[in-house]
Amino acid sequence: MTEGTSRSIRKVALALVAGFLILTAGVSLAQSVQSGNVYGRVADEQGAPLPGVTVTLSGVGPTVTSVTGTTGDYRFLNLAPGTYSITHSLQGFATVNRGNVTVNVGKNTELDIRMKLSGVAEQVTVTGEVPLLDTRRTTTPRDGAATDRLYAADLGKYAPVWCLTHAPAV
Protein backbone atom coordinates (compact mmCIF):
# COMPACT_ATOMS: atom_id res chain seq x y z
CA MET A 1 0.00 0.00 0.00
CA THR A 2 1.31 3.38 -0.89
CA GLU A 3 1.45 6.29 1.42
CA GLY A 4 -1.16 8.25 -0.63
CA THR A 5 -3.65 5.38 -0.42
CA SER A 6 -3.07 5.09 3.31
CA ARG A 7 -3.84 8.78 3.78
CA SER A 8 -7.03 8.50 1.76
CA ILE A 9 -8.22 5.56 3.87
CA ARG A 10 -7.52 7.51 7.07
CA LYS A 11 -9.44 10.55 5.79
CA VAL A 12 -12.44 8.40 4.86
CA ALA A 13 -12.34 6.63 8.23
CA LEU A 14 -12.07 9.93 10.07
CA ALA A 15 -14.98 11.38 8.07
CA LEU A 16 -17.11 8.29 8.86
CA VAL A 17 -16.35 8.54 12.59
CA ALA A 18 -17.09 12.28 12.61
CA GLY A 19 -20.36 11.70 10.74
CA PHE A 20 -21.36 8.97 13.18
CA LEU A 21 -20.65 11.23 16.16
CA ILE A 22 -22.65 14.08 14.68
CA LEU A 23 -25.63 11.81 13.95
CA THR A 24 -25.65 10.24 17.42
CA ALA A 25 -25.32 13.66 19.07
CA GLY A 26 -28.37 14.89 17.10
CA VAL A 27 -30.40 11.86 18.12
CA SER A 28 -29.45 12.23 21.78
CA LEU A 29 -30.36 15.94 21.70
CA ALA A 30 -33.73 15.13 20.15
CA GLN A 31 -34.34 12.55 22.84
CA SER A 32 -33.47 15.04 25.60
CA VAL A 33 -36.38 17.34 24.60
CA GLN A 34 -39.14 16.41 27.03
CA SER A 35 -41.49 19.31 26.49
CA GLY A 36 -43.83 20.95 24.03
CA ASN A 37 -45.18 24.42 23.37
CA VAL A 38 -48.55 26.10 22.95
CA TYR A 39 -48.86 29.09 20.63
CA GLY A 40 -51.88 31.11 19.65
CA ARG A 41 -53.45 34.32 18.52
CA VAL A 42 -56.56 35.93 20.00
CA ALA A 43 -58.79 38.05 17.76
CA ASP A 44 -62.27 39.54 17.87
CA GLU A 45 -65.15 38.37 15.67
CA GLN A 46 -63.89 40.44 12.72
CA GLY A 47 -60.36 39.03 13.00
CA ALA A 48 -58.71 42.10 14.55
CA PRO A 49 -56.05 41.18 17.14
CA LEU A 50 -56.98 41.61 20.80
CA PRO A 51 -54.12 42.86 23.00
CA GLY A 52 -54.39 42.55 26.77
CA VAL A 53 -56.27 39.23 26.86
CA THR A 54 -55.43 37.21 29.98
CA VAL A 55 -54.62 33.65 28.92
CA THR A 56 -54.49 31.07 31.72
CA LEU A 57 -53.11 27.57 31.15
CA SER A 58 -53.86 24.87 33.71
CA GLY A 59 -53.33 21.15 33.76
CA VAL A 60 -50.03 19.37 34.25
CA GLY A 61 -47.92 21.30 36.74
CA PRO A 62 -48.66 24.77 38.08
CA THR A 63 -51.16 27.17 36.50
CA VAL A 64 -49.44 29.65 34.19
CA THR A 65 -50.82 33.02 33.05
CA SER A 66 -49.83 35.18 30.10
CA VAL A 67 -51.19 38.36 28.51
CA THR A 68 -51.47 38.81 24.76
CA GLY A 69 -49.26 41.40 23.11
CA THR A 70 -50.24 44.10 20.63
CA THR A 71 -50.69 41.51 17.87
CA GLY A 72 -52.88 39.27 20.05
CA ASP A 73 -50.21 36.57 20.24
CA TYR A 74 -49.43 34.42 23.27
CA ARG A 75 -47.19 31.44 23.94
CA PHE A 76 -46.39 28.94 26.63
CA LEU A 77 -43.00 27.29 26.26
CA ASN A 78 -41.40 24.12 27.63
CA LEU A 79 -44.59 22.50 28.88
CA ALA A 80 -44.63 18.97 30.19
CA PRO A 81 -46.55 16.64 27.86
CA GLY A 82 -50.17 16.12 28.82
CA THR A 83 -53.66 17.57 28.57
CA TYR A 84 -54.30 21.21 29.47
CA SER A 85 -57.18 23.67 29.70
CA ILE A 86 -56.79 27.23 28.46
CA THR A 87 -58.99 30.18 29.46
CA HIS A 88 -59.04 33.46 27.51
CA SER A 89 -60.63 36.47 29.23
CA LEU A 90 -60.91 40.18 28.53
CA GLN A 91 -63.36 42.69 29.97
CA GLY A 92 -66.20 43.35 27.53
CA PHE A 93 -65.77 39.96 25.82
CA ALA A 94 -67.20 36.54 26.59
CA THR A 95 -64.64 34.28 28.30
CA VAL A 96 -63.48 31.39 26.11
CA ASN A 97 -62.51 28.08 27.75
CA ARG A 98 -60.77 25.35 25.76
CA GLY A 99 -60.26 21.99 27.39
CA ASN A 100 -58.43 18.90 26.17
CA VAL A 101 -55.53 20.81 24.63
CA THR A 102 -52.88 18.14 24.12
CA VAL A 103 -49.18 18.97 24.40
CA ASN A 104 -46.80 16.42 22.87
CA VAL A 105 -43.05 16.10 23.29
CA GLY A 106 -41.13 18.24 20.82
CA LYS A 107 -44.30 19.57 19.18
CA ASN A 108 -45.97 22.96 18.92
CA THR A 109 -49.71 23.11 19.54
CA GLU A 110 -51.37 26.10 17.89
CA LEU A 111 -54.63 27.41 19.30
CA ASP A 112 -56.15 30.51 17.68
CA ILE A 113 -59.20 31.98 19.41
CA ARG A 114 -62.00 34.31 18.28
CA MET A 115 -63.68 36.18 21.14
CA LYS A 116 -67.23 37.55 20.97
CA LEU A 117 -68.45 40.74 22.59
CA SER A 118 -70.45 40.08 25.71
CA GLY A 119 -73.51 41.92 26.91
CA VAL A 120 -72.75 44.42 29.58
CA ALA A 121 -74.39 43.36 32.80
CA GLU A 122 -74.21 45.95 35.48
CA GLN A 123 -75.99 45.88 38.78
CA VAL A 124 -76.11 48.85 41.07
CA THR A 125 -77.24 48.36 44.65
CA VAL A 126 -77.85 51.46 46.69
CA THR A 127 -78.19 51.17 50.42
CA GLY A 128 -78.51 53.99 52.87
CA GLU A 129 -80.44 55.45 55.71
CA VAL A 130 -83.23 57.96 55.62
CA PRO A 131 -81.71 61.39 56.24
CA LEU A 132 -82.50 63.04 59.55
CA LEU A 133 -83.19 66.31 57.75
CA ASP A 134 -86.81 67.41 57.50
CA THR A 135 -86.97 69.05 54.09
CA ARG A 136 -90.42 70.51 54.79
CA ARG A 137 -89.14 72.68 57.65
CA THR A 138 -87.03 75.76 56.97
CA THR A 139 -85.78 76.50 60.47
CA THR A 140 -84.49 74.50 63.36
CA PRO A 141 -85.71 75.08 66.92
CA ARG A 142 -82.41 76.79 67.73
CA ASP A 143 -82.68 79.26 64.83
CA GLY A 144 -85.57 81.19 66.34
CA ALA A 145 -83.98 81.35 69.78
CA ALA A 146 -80.64 82.52 68.43
CA THR A 147 -82.24 85.24 66.34
CA ASP A 148 -84.23 86.53 69.27
CA ARG A 149 -81.15 86.69 71.48
CA LEU A 150 -79.17 88.43 68.74
CA TYR A 151 -81.64 91.29 68.59
CA ALA A 152 -82.11 91.44 72.34
CA ALA A 153 -78.42 91.58 73.23
CA ASP A 154 -76.22 94.60 72.75
CA LEU A 155 -73.05 92.84 71.59
CA GLY A 156 -71.15 95.75 70.18
CA LYS A 157 -67.90 94.91 68.44
CA TYR A 158 -68.24 91.14 69.25
CA ALA A 159 -71.44 90.71 67.25
CA PRO A 160 -69.79 89.10 64.16
CA VAL A 161 -67.83 86.62 66.29
CA TRP A 162 -70.85 85.78 68.41
CA CYS A 163 -72.90 85.14 65.25
CA LEU A 164 -70.30 82.75 63.91
CA THR A 165 -69.97 80.79 67.13
CA HIS A 166 -73.70 80.57 67.76
CA ALA A 167 -74.98 80.07 64.21
CA PRO A 168 -76.61 76.71 63.58
CA ALA A 169 -74.57 74.23 61.51
CA VAL A 170 -75.81 73.69 57.99
Average pLDDT over residues 50-62: 93
Residues 33 and 103: their CA atoms lie apart, in Å, by 13
pLDDT digits (tens, 9 = 90+) for 139-153: 555 555 555 555 555
Confidence band, pLDDT 50/70/90 cuts, at residue 10: confident
Tell me which of 86 and 170 has the higher pLDDT.
Answer: 86
Residue ranges, CATH 2.60.40.1120, the chain? 32-115
CATH topology of domain 32-115: Immunoglobulin-like (2.60.40)
Q: Note the pLDDT of residue 119.
A: 73
Tell me: pLDDT of 132 over 60.
no
